[in-house]
Amino acid sequence: MDGITRYSPKQAWESAVSYLALEMARGSFDTRVSTTCLVEYKDGTFVIGAPNAENRDWLESRLTSTVERFLVGVMAREVSVRFVVVESKPGDDEEDEASDSSLAWDVAPTNLPGAMDNDPVVTDLDVQAASLRNSVIEPWRVVRLPVYTLRWLPYVGAQTIFLVLALWQEHYLASFGKEKKGNNRVAIRAERICQWAGISRAQFFRLLQSDHALKWFVRKIETAHEVDKKSGKVKKSSNKYELLENPLTPGDAEDLKAYLTSHGIKENPEPALLAAVNISPDEILQFPVRQPPLDFPKMTPTHLTVTKVVQDLIGHRLHGDCLNLAEQLSERITAQGEFILVSWYFLKNWLPILGPDAAMFILVLRNLCYFNDETGELRDEVWIDGGYAAIAARLGINNARLVSQWLGAFFERKKTKEDLSARTRAEFHRRKVLQEQIGLFVQRVDHRINANGNFSWKFKIQRADPLVPLQRVVMQAAIDLVIAAENRDVLNELFNWQGQLANDCFETVNTGSLVDLRLSCLTVNCSATLRELMDGCFATFDGDFKDCFETLLKILKYFKDSQNDKIPANSQDSAAKNNPVVAAVDAQGNWSLEKLLARADVKNRSTLLSSETNALPFVSWIIYGVSQPSIQNPYSLAIASLKNNPRVSAGGASERLAALPPSKLLQLIVEAQQLFPPSEPNWRMLFASLPKERIQLLADILDLQPGQEC
């Protein structure tokens, strides 16, 4: 036996149906796949029944290769699939009914409320996203990354950690989250692992080479040969690997050995283990990271665990109290209950854009944030002592300048040469784009220098994932489409079109020379009005058209599911018609401090008008005060701050927003009051997580008035 978990044909087909339910559009799955059944399995062929000839032909033409590939992975052998028409599902006889009821006992015992004797409980669940953004990001789809894994970063780097995360995630999905009997091996495909890790197939196989750091987490099992049942030829079995759970870093293993040895574990094991269990891990290990030794690349990968370290020190197999104490110590040392939740969206969309190092930097900072449910305190600002060098060391990056390139210049620098080579200009442009993308997640808001001249940086972290740039374009196009469809009375037709699309449209919509023709085929049954609107919507897309189209359908589904609520299109129309303006500006369109201070008392107004040279510091303090929910009166805060420190602004993102033209700030306020937060990074850092009441407060203080002229 090769250790692969074996499925019965019935279990294999049920697994294939579960897989298709995740991958296909809901309407296509319900119509085409949910009505199928396994008729028989013989000589490696699955015979699948469909209710009619139309369904059979559709399944045969669209899903044969997909299902065969999946079943080959599940069955660990060559199989084929044939679709036939059956009038009713087999299994109505007594034997199959008994089998079905026994399965129902596993998933839904009859003592559950509402469960009938020997009848399975069937629950049909769908998710209604809380916002338009969430309909695309789907924040409920997450992967867990053990916090202890971050201690491996200085040793193996971020790329290896993301690949290990991908292997664990794909193992979970391939086993369908079910408890296995015996070995936990499952068949998984390299392409799916690459999708989670943000790498190419070639990169994946390079990382599996014997000299790579991945060997600390993955062990290859020698493969045998087997006979191909179709050709009769001998072929090599598929590669087999073992995932190693909770390995200790070599440095942590050395620190643990030193602590236990100093407490006499060889002479009295139980007292030494008890002492280790009852103290904080930072008294045993080095924090925040333990840097690897210089000879680490030459070390032979070894699966080190707390239990193995203890067993080696004692000199024999653990049992009784020693075993229990060693397991408790393992839980404390490796923080087994602590995880970072990483969204599928972040892994599939942002990881390939940001690269593994910058993406891991964001996850490390997010891990330092928290929400206190007793006090309501939200910490999304953290200090990192040691400057860029400390960040680079924590991430396993040799060159600290790379970290500084992610964040742009914090201090004013000398002008660069105007005569730059094309290669240098391209590199500067790449860095600028990357800085803007990272800026959607992380902003430096403060710094300090200690007595030794070393920097510490304060970062503000966006804990929710923003949309990638291309999908923001798609979202705006979808909003415009819904608004236009409502205005021209074809909104219901648009929703009906979206609901009737078959899953094969995702195979049809691909980038290429025939993309326009293929898209026009999708709207062949639409009215002329809707076809015109759809053509205009499609024309705004670029890049990966398949992803664009899938995002568009997700957004339209959100609008369709939410149509009982007031569609925000009306508020957009009214905003455009009422032409909101900022009244507190001068004739040139700049902030007018005199108008902003119109509601202040005479004394404070006179003091500030005499001390301030322009309105920007006052506006910056207003923005800062509104961004802090604990501040009840931002207007009073601004006056008090400038009276104590004339001409000194609030700094950071507040100052940068205040420096924007009033018309631009007005545009950000209007966008935030409607469908989704603006993409402007400084705005997102301050206001993305705030309720709209605070945005309205900012509009009121800055005298945002609809229908007036400046």
What would the pLDDT profile of 619-642 be if each residue is shown by its tens digit? 999 999 888 887 878 888 888 888
Mean pLDDT, residues 305-328 = 89
Q: How far is CA 224 from CA 2, 75, 215, 229, in A?
A: 9, 17, 21, 16
pLDDT at 182: 52
pLDDT at 219: 84
Q: How long a stretch of residues is the chain?
A: 710
b/e string for 350-371 if b means 16 or more Cβ within 10 A? bbbbbbbbbbbbbbbbbbebee
Q: Which residue has the tokens 């950690």?
A: 161
The DSSP code for 567 is P
Q: Is the pTM of this model over 0.75?
A: no
Q: Which residue has the tokens 């209710």?
A: 51
Mean pLDDT, residues 45-58 = 87
Q: Whole-angstrom Cα distance, residue 691 to residue 131?
A: 13
pLDDT tens-place string over residues 492-527: 888 888 876 655 555 555 544 445 555 666 777 788
Least confident range from 462-471, 563-572, 627-636, 699-708: namely 563-572
Question: Burial, 612: exposed, middle or buried (Cβ in 10 Å; 0-12, 13-18, 19+)?
Answer: middle
Query: Which H helix or E strand runs over 407?
Result: helix 401-407
- pLDDT mean across residues, the chain: 80
Inform me whether the pLDDT recorded for 567 exceeds 60. no
Q: Which residue has the tokens 């993309």?
A: 515
pLDDT at 513: 44
User: Cβ(252)–Cβ(285) under 8 Å?
Assistant: yes
- CB count within 10 Å of CB 665 equals 23
Mean pLDDT, residues 144-170 = 92
Share of the chain above pLDDT 70, in %: 80
pLDDT at 223: 67
Q: Whole-angstrom Cα distance, residue 549 to residue 514?
A: 15
pLDDT tens-place string over residues 569-598: 444 444 334 455 667 888 888 888 888 888
pLDDT at 33: 87
User: Cβ(44)–Cβ(77) under 8 Å?
Assistant: yes
List domains and CATH numbers for the chain. 9-88 (3.30.300.180), 146-223+237-243 (no CATH), 250-333 (no CATH), 355-411+421-461 (no CATH), 469-567 (no CATH), 576-706 (no CATH)
Mean pLDDT, residues 207-212 = 72
For the CA atoms of 313, 315, 316, 322, what is the dihedral angle to 10 degrees?
-30
Q: Which amino acid is at 666?
A: L
Inform me whether the pLDDT recorded for 323 exceeds 50. yes
- CB count within 10 Å of CB 282 equals 9
The DSSP code for 4 is B
Q: Which amino acid is at 329?
A: L
Q: State the chain's maximal CA–CA distance in angstroms.
A: 97
CA atoms within 13 A on the CB side of 496: 8
**What is the rounded end-to-end Cα distance, in angstroms, of the chain?**
81
User: Cβ(678)–Cβ(553) under 8 Å?
Assistant: no
Q: Is residue 580 reached through a cis peptide bond, with omega within 30 degrees of 0 on the bond before it?
A: no
* Bridge partner residues of 4 (DSSP): 185
Share of the chain above pLDDT 90, in %: 23
Q: Whole-angstrom Cα distance, residue 571 to residue 479?
A: 12
Least confident range from 21-30, 45-54, 127-136, 313-322: namely 21-30
User: Cβ(697)–Cβ(455) under 8 Å?
Assistant: no
pLDDT at 613: 87
Closest CA to 638 of 599, 694, 683: 599
pLDDT tens-place string over residues 138-155: 999 999 999 999 999 999
pLDDT at 277: 93
pLDDT at 423: 86
pLDDT at 341: 93
pLDDT tens-place string over residues 246-262: 899 999 999 999 999 99
User: Cβ(435)–Cβ(442) under 8 Å?
Assistant: no
Tokens of residue 172, six digits? 């979970």
Mean pLDDT, residues 679-707 = 78
